[in-house]
């Protein structure tokens, strides 16, 4: 049996994980006035991690390096660093080896994935999803592609009320954050703020009752 560090969380990628983040309490971090809700982590302050992160107004984080990259979706407020300001709805990818000193004047909430890039995935990405175009998806879905590298795909998917997708299997797994509305499948009902991680070759038959928006990553597990 593989030994996990005592501070690891949800690091068995063969297991399905469902977390309603609205029920979690905020925890402290290494930086004053920066809070987090851990979803998965390898070590307490290093290694692979996925979290919600909250910068209280005026909070800042010291300059640091992301050896294996950082991926961010801004949920609320305005996130900033030396390169600019990123309002709610911005998708960011800071590649392996990048450095920055982030802050937020007004406060913000982020969905953050650390140390999970392929070593040769070197592109910096900044997309304001409030302005980027939608593309037609299967059925009546709308899709906004955010990133594609090798087998990994990241996108926003908009579901109109009452839409039902076809049953399907996820080669390489699937990760979802429900941004608005509620996502549903035969395994459960997932309201806004729910984070789901489904393993390689998992199956489901999803649908929605009301208009719903989800952030989705596939092919990375």
Give residue 1's pLDDT: 41
Same domain, 100 and 121: yes
The closest alpha carbon to 121, from 151, 156, 86, 82, belongs to 151
pLDDT in tens, 39-54: 999 987 778 999 999 9
Instruction: Choose the final residue of a domain: 73, 98, 127.
Output: 127
- Over residues 162-177, the mean pLDDT reads 96
pTM of the shown model: 0.95
Report CA dihedral (79, 85, 88, 94) to the nearest 10 degrees.
-70
Instruction: Choose the final residue of a domain: 109, 127, 145.
Output: 127
Same domain, 75 and 153: no
**Environment class of residue 30 by beta-carbon count within 10 Å: exposed (0-12), middle (13-18) or buried (19+)?**
exposed
Mean pLDDT of all residues belonging to the chain: 94
pLDDT in tens, 77-134: 999 999 999 999 999 999 999 999 999 999 999 999 999 999 899 999 999 999 999 9
Q: Give CA 74 to chain center in angstroms.
A: 9
pLDDT in tens, 118-154: 989 999 999 999 999 999 999 999 999 999 999 999 9
Give residue 4's pLDDT: 59
- Please indicate, yes or no, if residue 19 is contained in any of the structural domains: no
CB 65 within 8 A of CB 27: no
Q: Percentage of the chain surpassing pLDDT 90?
A: 89
- Please indicate, yes or no, if residue 18 is contained in any of the structural domains: no
- Over residues 57-72, the mean pLDDT reads 93
């Amino acid at each position: 049996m593989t030994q996990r560090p005592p501070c690891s969380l949800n690091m068995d990628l063969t297991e399905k994980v469902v977390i309603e983040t609205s029920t979690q309490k905020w925890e402290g971090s290494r930086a004053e006035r920066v809070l987090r809700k851990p979803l998965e982590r390898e070590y307490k302050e290093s290694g692979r991690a996925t979290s919600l992160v909250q910068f209280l107004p005026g909070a800042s984080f010291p300059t640091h390096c992301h050896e294996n990259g950082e991926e961010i979706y801004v949920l609320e407020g305005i996130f900033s660093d030396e390169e600019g300001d990123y309002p709610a709805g911005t998708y960011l990818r800071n590649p392996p080896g990048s450095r920055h000193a982030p802050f937020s004047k007004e406060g913000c909430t982020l969905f953050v994935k650390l140390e999970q890039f392929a070593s040769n995935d070197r592109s910096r990405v900044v997309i304001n999803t409030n302005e980027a175009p939608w593309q037609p998806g299967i059925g009546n879905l709308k899709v906004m592609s955010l990133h594609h590298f090798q087998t990994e795909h990241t996108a926003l998917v908009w579901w109109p009320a009452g839409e039902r997708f076809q049953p399907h299997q996820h080669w390489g797994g699937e990760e979802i954050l429900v941004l608005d509305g509620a996502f549903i499948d035969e395994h459960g009902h997932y309201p806004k703020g729910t984070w789901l991680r489904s393993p390689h070759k998992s199956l489901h038959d999803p649908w929605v009752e009301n208009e719903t928006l989800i952030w989705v990553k596939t092919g990375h597990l």
